[in-house]
Amino acid sequence: MQLQRSEKARLELASRVRALNVRERGALFLADGSKTLDELQVLLQDYAGMVRRLVDDGYLVASSGLTAPSIATDAVDSTSMAPVKASTPEAATPLYAPPPNAADHFDGKRSLATTRMFLFDICERMFARKAPDLALHFRDALREARDRESMLDIARQIVARVEQVAGAERADGLSERIARLLPAEPVAA
C-alpha cells in the first residue's frame, strides 16, 4: 500500500515553524502516493525507522489508490503562506502494519546478470560508506561469480550481513527479491 502526505504533513511543509528535521521533511516530499513504506525506507536509507515514526505520528497515511495525489495538494498561497486546499480525497486511516510482501513487485526476466546488478546495488547502498572493505570484498566476489550456485552463495553472505546491520525484516525482503531475480534451478534429467 502506498503512502501519501496527510493534512498534518501538508501543514508542516507549508509552515515556517518546523516541527520536523530536514530528513523527515524530505521523506514527506517523497511520499507522493506512489511509493510504499519499504520503497521510502530504501530511498531514504532509513535504518532507524524514521518513516515508520512519520506514519505513527500521522504525517503519512495510506493512499486510497482511487486517485493520484494532485500536485496542487502541496501548493502554498504566496501571499498568506497558507496551504492551498487539496482537490483529491484523502485516506484517513494511518498505515501501521507493513505490507505482507516486503519484496518489490518484479515482472522482468530472471537472470544472473539482473541478480548480480541487484547485489552490486545492495553492496553500494548498505556497505560502501560504513564498511568499504566489506563492500569491496562483495563486489570482487560478485565479479567472479559465474554460475547460479556461486551467485547464491554470495547472496547468502550479503543477506546475512544485511541482517546484522539492518535487521531480519530487511534481510527477508532482500531474500525474497533475490529469489525472484535468480534464474530457476535447472531440472536434473
At 26-66, the pLDDT tens digits run 888 888 888 888 887 787 777 668 888 888 889 888 876 54
Domain segments of the chain: what residues?
A: 2-74, 112-181
pLDDT attached to residue 103: 46
Strand order of the sheet with strand 2-5? 32-36, 2-5, 60-62
Amino acid letter for position 41: Q
User: CB of 60 within 8 A of CB of 25?
Assistant: no
- Angstrom distance (rounded) from CA 68 to CA 182: 33
- Helix axis angle for 22-30 and 7-14, nearest 10°, is 130
Mean pLDDT, range 69-82, rounded to an integer? 42
Q: pLDDT, tens digit, for every residue of 88-141?
A: 444 444 444 444 444 445 556 778 888 888 889 888 888 888 888 999 999 999
Q: How many CB atoms lie within 10 A of CB 59?
A: 27
Q: State the number of CA atoms in the 13 A half-sphere of 55 facing the CB.
A: 24
SS3 at position 169: helix
